[in-house]
Amino acid sequence: MQEQKTPGISPADATGIWFSRARFGLFVHWGHGSRCGWELSWPLVGGMKALRHCQDVPAETYHANARAFAPHAGAARAWIAAAKRCGMQYTVLTAKHHDGFALWPTRASDFSIAATPYRGDLVREFVDATREAGLRVGLYFSLCDWHHPDYPPFTDADRPYRYGMAPRPTEAGWARYVEFLFAQLRELLTDYGRIDLLWFDGGWERTADAWQTRELEAMIRSLQPGIVINDRLPGCGDYDTPEQFVPPEPPGRAWETCLTMNESWAWNPDDADYKSARALVHTLCEVASRGGNLLLNVGPTGDGSLAPEQVERLDAIAGWMAANGESILGTEPALAPWQFYGPTTRRGTRLYLHVLSRPYDSVTVRGLPIRRVRRVIELRSGAVLESSGRCPVIDELFNADPTGQLTIRVPEPVLDPLATVIAVDLD
Ligand code: H79
């Protein structure tokens, strides 16, 4: 591996600690089908119930579309710039999805960007742009491959797609496929400098033994000692990946919610079911308050540009983060649910309250050392908010450091249209 200088990242961080505090990242779902507004991979197996706007495209037609993929060079730069403005700390690109099409010119097969009019290396552009922005870089890689001759490929005769009913390989074919799988990962982990994260998917189609996940993980960690691996390499991995869902309780180890802006992963002009920027910010607050990360997805169009609906949301989030990002990035979960009606985070002695519903006059925080409250402000404006503490009279009289409740006045004008953050400084 070539020596790599990564701006903004200290070597002491190389253990994955960065991930447990990152809080916000950008997921990018992109493939040759993006030119047609197709969901990634699922159209070729006839769609999937959880993807309401997914098309149905015959397998041959789907794969043939690869030859027409001709994005603009350097498209990744704009996505990464937007990620940076949003305060995102890492990025993940679909280097290869279930459809088997590689966004880098893999030497292990001829089914890649090298066989298109583009001929460049979209993985390299992505990795380089991410690193130049000082962010951590991750690659999404699906273990399954609905195109590879030895997998073997999914054909229209195999429809409908059902769990456990994937076409079975021959023994010799499977041995070749596993070799191919190792070869592709070796390329990604050798040719692009430091890779901070691997985001596996598709593992459900075979067993951990069939994938040889132990051997695969050993190879990965020997090539990239600091790498973080998600939980979708069966039997391995460092963190949980609830998809399209925020768990009500933290799962007990590092975790990340991956979330689409609408109901599709790849660009789909017919899917107008977008969440509002406000809803996305609220989800970010909820995730941060439970110690997780939000991996927010964009689906660039075929030429690599982002659709206005997606840019609008990223811009709004960036605006909110510019003023309130300190309540999210690098924070820890703070209060128990009974203490405040909303998500909370903390950094040192500063507590952040995320006000996600409009208060009547005030909000209340319970179980605080009320005499140690030094200052309460609305974070965006810095406006000082009036507050008063209350505790049992007996403590008021005889306890020098009583625990009680703090009621904070929240006048209408300080409310942020997306989410109001109140910072409480304690001595
Ligand atoms: O890339 C996006 C999706 O295309 C991909 N993950 C995100 C990040 C994804 N692939 N599959 N899934 C999500 C969910 C798969 C669900 C099912 Fe099954 C596969 C339903 C039936 C087969 C796995 C096996 C879950 C239940 C049985």
CA torsion, points 341, 380, 312, 76, in degrees to nearest 10?
Answer: -110
398 C-beta closer than 6 A to ligand 1? no
Question: 273 CA distance to ligand 1 centroid (A)?
Answer: 20
Three-class DSSP labels, 368-413: EEHHHEEEEEECCCCCECCEEEECCHHHHHHCCCCEEEEEEECCHH
8 Å CB contact between 130 and 136 = yes
For a pocket test of ligand 1, which of 44, 201, 264 has the largest count of ligand atoms closer than 8 A to its C-beta? 201
360 Cβ below 6 A of ligand 1: no
Contact 184, 200 (CB under 8 A): no
pLDDT tens sequence across 277-313:
999 999 999 999 999 999 999 999 999 999 999 999 9
Sorting pLDDT into bands at 50, 70 and 90, what band is 2? Answer: very low
201 lines ligand 1 (CB under 6 A): yes
The whole-number pLDDT of residue 16 equals 73
| CA 160 to ligand 1 centroid distance, Å | 15
Q: Tell me the pTM.
A: 0.95
Ligand 1 pocket, residue 265 CB under 6 Å: yes
Report which of 264, 324, 250, 334 is spatially closest to residue 293, judged by C-alpha positions: 250
Task: Judge if the beta carbon of residue 38 lies within 6 A of ligand 1.
Answer: no
pLDDT above 90 (res 3): no
CB 204 less than 6 A from any atom of ligand 1: yes
Residue 210, CB half-sphere, CA atoms under 13 Å: how many?
Answer: 16
Residue 348 makes CB contacts below 8 A (sequence gap 6+) with: none
pLDDT computed for residue 28 by the predictor: 99
User: What are the pLDDT digits (tens) for 86-140?
Assistant: 999 999 999 999 999 999 999 999 999 999 999 899 999 999 999 999 999 999 9
Q: Could you tell which of 40, 144, 161, 265 is best to mutate to test the pocket of ligand 1, judged by most ligand atoms within 8 Å of the CB?
A: 265
Q: What is the mean pLDDT of the chain?
A: 95
The pLDDT tens digits for 356-394 are 999 999 999 999 999 999 999 999 999 999 999 999 999
Q: How far is the CA of 233 from the centre of ligand 1 (A)?
A: 14
According to the model, what pLDDT value does residue 4 have? 38
Query: How many angstroms separate the alpha carbon of residue 283 from the centre of ligand 1?
Result: 22
Distance (angstroms) between ligand 1 centre and the Cα of 295 equals: 17
Amino acid 6: pLDDT: 38
248 burial level (CB within 10 Å; 0-12, 13-18, 19+): exposed
| Position 223 confidence tier, pLDDT thresholds 50, 70, 90 | very high
Residue 245 alpha carbon to ligand 1 centre in Å: 14
Ligand 1: distance of its center to the CA of 202 in Å? Answer: 7
Ligand 1 atom nearest to CA at 40: 4
User: Is the confidence at residue 197, as pLDDT, over 90?
Assistant: yes
d(CA 201, CA 42): 13
Find the helix or strand (DSSP H, E) in which 80 lies: helix 76-85
pLDDT of 11: 38
Query: Is the CB–ligand 1 distance for residue 258 below 6 Å?
Result: yes
What's the whole-number mean pLDDT along residues 4-30? 71
pLDDT at 13 over 60: no
Q: Where do the DSSP E strands lie in 225-361?
A: 228-229, 256-259, 293-298, 332-333, 344-347, 350-355
Is the shortest distance between the CB of 163 and ligand 1 below 6 Å?
Answer: yes
The CA 132 to ligand 1 mean position distance, Å, reads 32
Q: How close is the Cα of 134 to the center of ligand 1, in Å?
A: 31
b (16+ CB within 10 A) / e for 220-243: beeebebbbbbbbbbebbbbbbbe
Which pLDDT score is estimated for 119?
83
Question: Which residue's CA is the nearest one to ligand 1's atom 23?
Answer: 204
Determine what percent of the chain is predicted with pLDDT higher than 70.
96
- Closest residue by Cα to atom 2, ligand 1, is 265
Ligand 1 centre and the CA of 204: distance in Å? 8
- Whether 401 lines ligand 1, by a CB cut-off of 6 Å, is no
pLDDT for the residue numbered 10: 40
C-alpha of residue 384 to centroid of ligand 1, in Å = 48
